[in-house]
Amino acid sequence: MTMKFNKKRGFVAMVVAYIRPDKNFLAVHEQLQHVNSYAIANNLTIDKEFLDHTSQNKRLDERREVTKYFQTNSDGILLVYDVWVLSTNMEDLVQMASCLMKNNYKVHFIKHSVIMSQQSSAMLILGLMDQLRQKLQENAKRVIGRPKGSKSSSKFDVYISDLLHYIKEGKSVSEMARLLNVSRSSLKDYIESRELKQIASGSLVSEVTDDAEEKVINTIVCPQ
């Protein structure tokens, strides 16, 4: 990872937004909406958007691009929507979280407004993992459909990073369609339905609470 330096502040950590869609949770554009809003609200500049389109059924040892990236980089800030983005397999989640901490990442879990780092309490980390365990347990008991209010995946999802970049540059829908060699009308519908212009402008800002860590810890369920 290339280190960034600021004359006034010295070393500045790289900020990486990690997006991994899951059919049982949130699509790419929904995660990006939350991530970009959180970044703006917390004065963070996203240096890289890592969109991982690997199948949800793949184990960590099959997600080569992901493991290689996080093994060869360190001392960064990782923005993810929720714990399941890292993995929905508990064994893989423990390994991935451990390696991120070992490499001195600060992982911001946006849904909960909490930060996991080497200095975090064990209770916070256990609370995050137990929330995922509970959710997976609930899902196993019922037929999983698309989350309420969620939109299905689209062929344009792979272009989201490019689209956000183009929108920030002020390009028109026609220009973007020509660059991507896609239908203008379909692209216009996609941009509007995904609220990409609002995401790019940061007008969708998430709320941060003061007692976020305590709320996570309080969700831990002990067997009776």
The model's pLDDT over 126-152, given as tens digits with 9 standing for 90+, comes to 999 999 898 888 877 765 455 554 556
Over residues 68-81, mean pLDDT: 88
Confidence of residue 3 (pLDDT cuts 50, 70, 90): very low
Structural tokens at position 90? 């508990």
Can you give the pLDDT at residue 6? 44
Confidence of residue 207 (pLDDT cuts 50, 70, 90): low
Can you give the pLDDT at residue 2? 44
CA-based angle 214:219:220, to the nearest 5? 105
Choice between 10 and 111, residue whose per-residue pLDDT is larger: 111
Can you give the pLDDT at residue 186? 94
Number of H helices, E strands in the chain: 9, 7
Over residues 76-88, mean pLDDT: 93
pLDDT beyond 80 at 123: yes
Q: What is the pTM of this model?
A: 0.74
Quickly list H helices, the chain: 28-41, 64-72, 90-102, 122-140, 160-169, 173-180, 184-193, 196-201, 212-218
Structural tokens at position 78? 């990782």
| Pairing assessment for the beta strands 15-19 and 77-80 based on DSSP bridges | parallel
Over residues 200-205, mean pLDDT: 66
Please state, as a whole number, how many other Cβ atoms lie within 10 Å of the Cβ of residue 89: 17
Quickly list H helices, 20-172: 28-41, 64-72, 90-102, 122-140, 160-169
126-130, 207-211, 213-217 — most confident range = 126-130
CATH of 4-213 among 3.20.20.150, 3.40.50.1390, 3.60.15.10, 3.40.50.150 = 3.40.50.1390
pLDDT in tens, 25-66: 888 878 888 888 888 888 888 888 888 877 667 888 888 888
Among 19, 3, 14, 32, which Cα is nearest to 77's?
A: 14
Main-chain phi, psi angles of 19, to 5 degrees: -120, 120
Asked whether the beta carbons of 129 and 93 are under 8 A apart, the reply is yes
Confidence of residue 156 (pLDDT cuts 50, 70, 90): confident
Choice between 55 and 14, residue whose per-residue pLDDT is larger: 14
Can you give the pLDDT at residue 209? 63
Can you give the pLDDT at residue 188? 93
Pairwise CA distance, residues 110 & 83, whole Å: 9
